[in-house]
Structure 1
Amino acid sequence: MGKKGRVFVRGLTSETYGLGEFRKAQLAAQRVRDDSVVVDDAKVGHSGDSEKSRTWWRIGPGDEEFLTQTLQVHFVELPPQSSNHGHGHQNEAAFYILEGAGYEIHDDKRYDWKKDDLVFVHTDSVHRHFNPYDEKAVALVVKAKCTWMFMGLIQQGRSAPIEREDEFGPREDWSSIWTEGVLDRKKVVSPEDTHWETTPLGNVRHLINKERTDLRQFGVDIFELAIPAGSRSGKHWKMADEVDYVLSGEGYSLHWEVQEEIAEQYYARIAKKPTRHEIKKGDTLYVPQNTVVQHFAADGSELRLLASQNRVFKHLGYDRVHYFENSPEYDTVELATAGRA
């Protein structure tokens, strides 16, 4: 939270061309956060909360211990028989329902949701969330809002008459400039709409990625990773940073820093020793850009992570993940497949 208001986009300035000091500060920041961390309580510069609903931020560009602005993470809580305010913004948002059930009115249409659903708010939409039931509803919200802000897509607010109305003509349909057919895509993804697969990373359930062209979202990729008790994920290297929310279980994550060596070309130099980050249910784990990472589940406790990345990395030429070590579950499947060949 900024001293004079909400921070929507954070600047990066330096008196030198090399930005090593900024990178060092980012890597030194605490990467695991729990419910004791509230970086923004939504009291300034937010439009969604009603007298009953509550919003609080875990990761955002206004962090004093600055992590990232490629992804933002906050929570929304709707008590029984309540709703928040209707509002609109140009950026997308993805709501993963942690508790309860409810519905939203989105561009004057109703969409119902329940626990473990992923609900999309697409670009340039007016939406309001409702909980008509007797149990509270809680959602984890992931968005790449700063990406829109960097590009000047900042027209947002609550429903109200426009200013200087006499200077403008009649209403036009804003969706005329959207991707063709987007309104025919799915707005809510339920567990039954997805499937688990064994990958080099581990047991993965993709909720949204660029290959799924049936979903109404373009800015983030989200998947669930389930690591059996005492097991581990694949050891992998990628450029995109990532926010992992611990849905259940506990364990730890190892991160190896990647240093650039700028010679006749770019070379990567990977740290010999990793940093270790303990995680448990309800934590968020931040994995910085250009990091080698591997997750481990504690003995007797399956570790389930909800992982989010900003999809823009894939459009900037970083659409591959390199594996130094596969997950044990993947190697087992590969051996069994080879044995049947």
Structure 2
Amino acid sequence: MSDTKGRVFLRGITSETYGLKEFRRRQLDAPRVRDDSVVVDDAKVAHSGDSHESRTWWRIGPGDDPFLTQSLQVHFVELPPRTSNHGHGHQNEAAFFILEGAGYEIHDDQRYDWEKDDLVIVHTDSIHRHFNPYDETARCLIFKAKSMWMYLGLLQQGRSGPVDDEERFGPRMDWSQLWTPDVEKRRKVVKSADTHWESTPLGKVRVMSRPGDDVRTFSVDASVLEIPAGSRSGKRWHMADEVLYVRSGSGYSLHWEVAAELSEKYYARIAHEPTRHEFKPGDTLYVPQNTVAQHFAADGEPLTFVSAQNRLFKELGYNSTVFLENAPEYDGPAGARS
């Protein structure tokens, strides 16, 4: 855990030179695989969600040391049987992948039920609370792009209650007037049964959220990737960084650093030798921005990842993935882009 007092919501970047090579080098040198021994934030400082029964702990966040990323934050929520957490609200979205159990949400006074393998969206500006009324523990994996909202000044959050200095303000108005029209019609819960497996250059993929679908998220793209035992994924290059949670299986990931050669234009120079990163079930694997990566499943059982990326990269003009090698099971053309 960082020695910084208070919770870090947004990390600054400073340098004595215009180039930021040293910042990127420190980021690339940080260990990319984290397991249950890593709790970078136990939600005891500047958090509003936990009750006496629920538990929240963070795996990746902007205050981490060593630092990986703040384009995605990763934490877990655990609800023992017949418990709930505190109701609270924040302007940023959150995407919950249900690892175990079942339960329901109350978002803006509406109920949304969920179960294992669902993806649940806490929408922008939602007052929300998580409930487990059943006899089994519920455990959720949460992906957030919270720092993105903080950078833009969208930081009005906290537990339910009246505004300070209430006499200074007029009557209540409907906050949702500012939302994208018809956004309330989008899905808040993506059921596993409503998705399907796709054969892609990366491998066998089940998409949970992506641009252009009817899921109520604007910040996180999520999917499930399955690699047969003893096989490998495609070898792909894209600009967005990525967090992959190892749901089952084990193996390793090879990462090739990409350097920027600034000449008459930008050129990419891919390292000859990759770094190797071993993982096991329950680990999170981090793939840095602008990295070539390929994942390998050990013999014995299939390797299953839950993957998340910050969608903002696509909106900034980096909406392509280049495949330098396809997954063996894919029979499409080589050198594909998606």
Alignment of 1:144-155 (within 5 A): 144-155=145-156
Cα distance in 1, alignment partners of residues 327 and 75 from structure 2: 30
Cα shift at 1:334? 6.5
Structure 2 counterpart of 1:242:
242
1:179 is paired with a residue whose SS is coil
Structure 2 counterpart of 1:12:
13
Cα distance in 2, alignment partners of residues 66 and 222 from structure 1: 22
1:183 is paired with a residue whose SS is helix
Cα distance in 2, alignment partners of residues 240 and 66 from structure 1: 17
Cα distance in 2, alignment partners of residues 61 and 221 from structure 1: 19
Aligned-residue sequence identity (percent) comes to 70
1:67-99 alpha-carbon deviations (Å, 9 max, x no partner): 000000000000111100000000000010101
Cα distance in 2, alignment partners of residues 323 and 110 from structure 1: 41
Structure 2 counterpart of 1:86:
87
Structure 1 counterpart of 2:173, one-letter code: E
Structure 1 counterpart of 2:137:
136
Alignment of 1:315-326 (within 5 A): 315-326=315-326
Structure 1 counterpart of 2:199:
198
Structure 2 counterpart of 1:99, one-letter code: E
Cα shift at 1:280? 1.1
Coordinate RMSD, CA, aligned? 1.0
1:257-290 alpha-carbon deviations (Å, 9 max, x no partner): 0011111111111000000001111000000000
CA contact (8 A) 1:2 1:62 kept: no
1:328 is paired with a residue whose SS is coil
Structure 1 counterpart of 2:41:
40
Alignment of 1:27-106 (within 5 A): 27-106=28-107
Structure 2 counterpart of 1:339:
none
Cα distance in 2, alignment partners of residues 15 and 109 from structure 1: 51
Q: Where does the alignment leave 5 or more consecutive residues of structure 2 unmatched?
A: none
Cα distance in 2, alignment partners of residues 7 and 90 from structure 1: 17
CA contact (8 A) 1:34 1:284 kept: yes
Structure 2 counterpart of 1:219, one-letter code: S
Cα distance in 1, alignment partners of residues 44 and 217 from structure 2: 28
Cα shift at 1:2? 5.1
1:121-145 alpha-carbon deviations (Å, 9 max, x no partner): 0000100001111111000000100
Cα shift at 1:211? 2.3
Cα distance in 2, alignment partners of residues 110 and 2 from structure 1: 39
Structure 1 counterpart of 2:171:
170
Cα shift at 1:300? 1.8
Structure 1 counterpart of 2:233:
233
Structure 2 counterpart of 1:338:
none
Cα distance in 1, alignment partners of residues 222 and 241 from structure 2: 13
Structure 1 counterpart of 2:50, one-letter code: D
Q: Where does the alignment leave 5 or more consecutive residues of structure 1 unmatched?
A: 336-341
Cα distance in 2, alignment partners of residues 309 and 111 from structure 1: 24
Cα distance in 1, alignment partners of residues 215 and 264 from structure 2: 43
1:192-226 alpha-carbon deviations (Å, 9 max, x no partner): 111111001110100000021x1111101001110
1:209-252 alpha-carbon deviations (Å, 9 max, x no partner): 0021x111110100111001111111011000000000100111
1:3 is paired with a residue whose SS is coil
Structure 1 counterpart of 2:305:
305
Cα distance in 1, alignment partners of residues 83 and 300 from structure 2: 39
Cα distance in 2, alignment partners of residues 177 and 2 from structure 1: 39
Structure 2 counterpart of 1:106, one-letter code: H
Cα distance in 2, alignment partners of residues 2 and 60 from structure 1: 14
- Does 1:328 pair with 2:328? yes
Cα shift at 1:3? 2.1
Structure 2 counterpart of 1:22:
23
CA contact (8 A) 1:81 1:134 kept: yes
TM-score (norm 1): 0.96
Cα shift at 1:59? 0.1
Structure 2 counterpart of 1:112:
113
- Does 1:281 pair with 2:286? no
Cα distance in 2, alignment partners of residues 192 and 81 from structure 1: 26
CA contact (8 A) 1:242 1:308 kept: yes
Structure 1 counterpart of 2:328, one-letter code: P
Cα separation, partners in 2 of 1:2 and 1:148, compared to 1, 3 Å = farther
Structure 1 counterpart of 2:187, one-letter code: K
* Aligned residue-pair number: 333
